[in-house]
Every structure is written in structure tokens, then in C-alpha cells.
Amino acid sequence: MAKQPKTAVAAPAAGSPPTPPAAPVGAETLAQKAERNKTDLFVRTLGADGKGVPAAKKLAPQAQLIVDVIEAAGAGGITREGLNEKLVPAGLKTRQSVGRIVTYYQKSLVEAGTITIAKGNAPTAGAPAAA
């Protein structure tokens, strides 16, 4: 197979508007998303007896700790920021960031029916929502 000859990139035509510089790759968007996610409200799903609904299958120890902290927060729930702050004192051991652990397990916990997450609905960071 023969090499293709290199072709020169043509310069923009005289009088044409300059090409805008490329925007930073999601830096501002990621910061905005992180700020918005701080107000996600995690609420423990309760059964008719007022107790937490057990998961359909055994949860990983880190996932169970997340559920326990959410349940301890009460019926009003806890914000993502508040949850992240309370997990380490509750005994979470990880080399990764606490937020990354929560993000990893949140989908499986919602699918198991043990918690619900209201996106960006918490009134203030760390405070339970009014019932």
C-alpha cells in the first residue's frame, strides 16, 4: 500500500470571518452540572409499614452504607452534598472520591427500589425537604 501524499490545508479566503476559537471541552458545563447535582434529593423508599423497602438482592457494602445514611436522614431525605459529607463519618472507606461512589451506586439503588432521587429539588444544601 503506497503512502498518500500530504496535502496542505488551505488558508481562509481573504475577507471571510475568522473561525471562532474552540470552546473549552466541557469545563464550564461540568462545573454547572456539579453545582446543580448538589441539590439532588435522595429519599429512602418506605413500605406500608413505614420501614425501608429491602433490596431485591444483596447490596454491596458501600451501597448498603449509602442506603443506611439516607434512611437515617428521615422521610425528608438528604441532598447529594449532605450525603457525601455524612458517608465518611458513617464508615465509608474508599480511595476514590465519595461523590464518585454515590454516582456509581445510585442507578442500581433506584432500580432496586430502595431509594428515589429528585433531581435538583432540594430547598437548601444539606437540609431536608419540607414534607
Domain boundaries, the chain: 33-118
Identify the residue with better confidence: 112 or 56: 112
CATH of domain 33-118: 1.10.10.10
Q: How far apart are the first and last CA of the chain?
A: 71
Q: What share of the chain is helix, strand, coil (3-state, %, to 5)?
A: 35, 10, 55
What pTM was estimated for this model as a whole? 0.64
Asked if residue 27 lies in contact with residue 102, where contact means CB atoms within 8 angstroms, the answer is no
* Angle between helices 80-87 and 98-111 in degrees, nearest 10: 110
> Given a cut of 50, is residue 126 above it in pLDDT?
no
> Given a cut of 90, is residue 30 above it in pLDDT?
no
